[in-house]
Structure 1
Amino acid sequence: MTTTMRLLKTDWFGLLVAFVCGVLALAATQPTFLSTFNIYVMLTAFSLSVLVALSQMVILAIGQLNLSVGAIGGLAAITFAGVMEVWGLPVPLAILVGLLVGLVCGAINGAVTFWSGLNAFVVTLATLSIYKGINIGITEAQPFYEIPDIVKSFGNARFGAFPYLLIVAGLVLIAMLVFMRRGVLGRQLLAVGGNRNAAELSGIHVGRVIIAAHVISGLLAAVAGMLAVARLQLGQPTIGDDWLIISFAAPVIGGAVLAGGHVSVVGTVLGVAIVTLINNALVLLNVDPFAVQLLLGALILAAVALSRFRDPA
């Protein structure tokens, strides 16, 4: 009974019920919904989107926003593809270069935010433009096509309905669950987001925590960008351009408090799952694609209202 009550009180239980109801409704009305191919398509979209959402969730934990998530992911993606095509680097080294790009971009965001005292919204709005400009400068708006076969195969391989991309997403998800619940730095992120002054008085180095949060965000965005290259089978300069809404919507729908101090990894994952389900449902029902954006906007407004209700201060 105690376990049941705890489950009912979690941020994400309502989302889980909504997701299950949505799945049951679509399964009953759309014969193709449970087809192997349709499930594969949904899980592929989920695998990329969940990394993007977790990238933003880390920043929301400290009460900030990262508008450059997509730009970092896009820059890491074209760097990953470019060093393999132009310099002929082997895949493992190219992956390290891509991760390094995400780390450096995230560190710049965090360092400038902390040392300048500017709002992260303003800083990452500026770096979004900078990183995107570097992207266009490197690619001249042209894709990198020479992607190794092993990368292409991984991006499109599957076991039944389960894409290999889901393996990476699953490992990252487990790592983030442990990090946020058990990790010292994870608890410090929430402490800084909850009350920065109290965190400082308790001995937490706020600057390091802020920079670390942005570094983690950049690394997750870089992973998502490189997986997008594997999925698309090319280094497309537009990778990441449409990530901002999902990166913000899923964590907020999942229970993140905008002022910081409270996020939910499970809630964020369910937020991504619900958005993915909605997108798939609208495709199956032949609904105008613009309705997706309208519905996402409504979901964000509802989630923000709920966030304000939870934390009226």
Structure 2
Amino acid sequence: MSPAALPAAGPDGALARLLRADWFGPGLVTLAAMALIGALSPSFLSPLNLQILALAIAVNALIAFSQMIIIAIGQMNLSVGAIGGLSAITFGGLMDAFGLPAPLAAGAALLVGLLCGALNGLFIVWTGISAFVITLASLSIYKGINLGVTRAEPFYGIAEGVKAFGQALVLGPLPWLAVPTILVALGLSFMLARLPIGRFVLAVGGNAHAAELSGVSVGPTVVFAHALSGMLAALAGILLVARLQIGQPTIGDDWLILSFAAPVIGGAVLAGGHVSVAATLFGTAIVAIITQALVLFNIDPFLVQIVLGALILAAVGLNRLREARLAATRRGAAR
């Protein structure tokens, strides 16, 4: 091998890899946004506001991961919020109505999320109907069950330990609620990078037919991704109950846009096959920072939805441009 063909080494090579990393752009935007908003409003960087920001990111990142894993297989899950809401009222209801200990209630809620997600995946595989249609239908079903069980009334009897967990801090402004999210992020990163099932998920998203020809069981992989998505949505619902200290039936109603915004801002390819856990985490942070800034500057909160929509459009446009440039580079190299 000639010296020119050797991979770049040393500081220059490391810098090039850093600049090409999926998370670098969103991470840079996150730091720049915090610095800019902190300069305009010093209270933004106060310990209390940073704690509020961390609490929002802790829950919202799980919502984003729940959608991200479905985007990875080239599909979408419109029922993320409905699954999270149903799991949340399961968690709150079992403690309130039946006096179940919090760990058992949490386990039951996670099981509900897993089963709801698995049912989505099974129906998609068995019927061949698009994930959009199946999850749109299941959104209505799961939300209907939620309202039927609760009669639109919240559960107030949340265990004191859960309430304390929702407000406790680990270190400085970092809440305990962030710990499960950090562990999930590490686990997802390891799965996608190191485990066969993670490679199968990305392979199915990249090209399901080619993945099947290479020996990947596409159907079980799709069911796995949806089951994992449901469990992540359930965990988000559980943490939100701990944060709000109430089992509110409206939990999950406003998750849909957020669930897409953070992965897309993080560079996820909507066609599937390429996602980044770290970039999605930074995408979540960007959304939380913008939302908190609008509150600090007394800007109409309804503008949040407009800003999120604009961010999604901009991120998709940038991703398409990047994909076109990569395709052109590959064609040039092939010649």
**Range of TM-score over shorter length:** over 0.9
Matched residue type, 2:21: T
Deviation at 1:40, TM superposition (A): 0.3
Q: Which moved more, 1:161-170 or 1:57-66?
A: 161-170
Q: What is the RMSD of the two structures over their aligned residues, measured on CA atoms?
A: 1.1
Deviation at 1:311, TM superposition (A): 3.9
CA–CA distance in structure 2, aligned partners of residues 90 and 175 of structure 1: 26
Question: Could you say which residue in structure 2 is the equivalent of 1:245?
Answer: 257
Say whether 1:29 aligns with 2:40: yes
Task: Give the gaps of 5 or more residues in structure 1.
Answer: none
TM-score by length of 2: 0.91
CA–CA distance in structure 1, aligned partners of residues 118 and 321 of structure 2: 33
Say whether 1:177 aligns with 2:203: no
Q: Which has the larger radius of gyration?
A: 2
Question: Could you say which residue in structure 1 is the equivalent of 2:66?
Answer: 55
Question: Could you say which residue in structure 1 is the equivalent of 2:223?
Answer: 211
CA–CA distance in structure 1, aligned partners of residues 322 and 148 of structure 2: 44
Say whether 1:131 aligns with 2:127: no
Matches within 5 A, 1:255-266: 255-266=267-278
Question: Could you say which residue in structure 2 is the equivalent of 1:230?
Answer: 242
Size of the alignment, in residue pairs? 313
Quick one: percent identity of the two aligned structures? Answer: 58
CA–CA distance in structure 2, aligned partners of residues 311 and 21 of structure 1: 25
TM-score by length of 1: 0.98
Match of 1:221, SS state, is helix
Question: Could you say which residue in structure 1 is the equivalent of 2:285?
Answer: 273
Matched residue type, 1:251: P
Say whether 1:87 aligns with 2:98: yes
Moved over 4 A (4+): none
Task: Give the gaps of 5 or more residues in structure 2.
Answer: 1-11, 328-335
CA–CA distance in structure 2, aligned partners of residues 74 and 115 of structure 1: 26
Matched residue type, 2:319: S
Say whether 1:297 aligns with 2:309: yes
CA–CA distance in structure 1, aligned partners of residues 268 and 236 of structure 2: 21
Matches within 5 A, 1:153-168: 153-159=164-170, 160-168=172-180
Matched residue type, 1:141: A
Matched residue type, 1:118: I
CA–CA distance in structure 2, aligned partners of residues 96 and 242 of structure 1: 24
| Contact residue 258 and residue 307 of structure 1 kept, 8 A | no
| Contact residue 52 and residue 247 of structure 1 kept, 8 A | yes
| Contact residue 81 and residue 234 of structure 1 kept, 8 A | yes
Deviation at 1:11, TM superposition (A): 2.1
CA–CA distance in structure 1, aligned partners of residues 17 and 200 of structure 2: 24
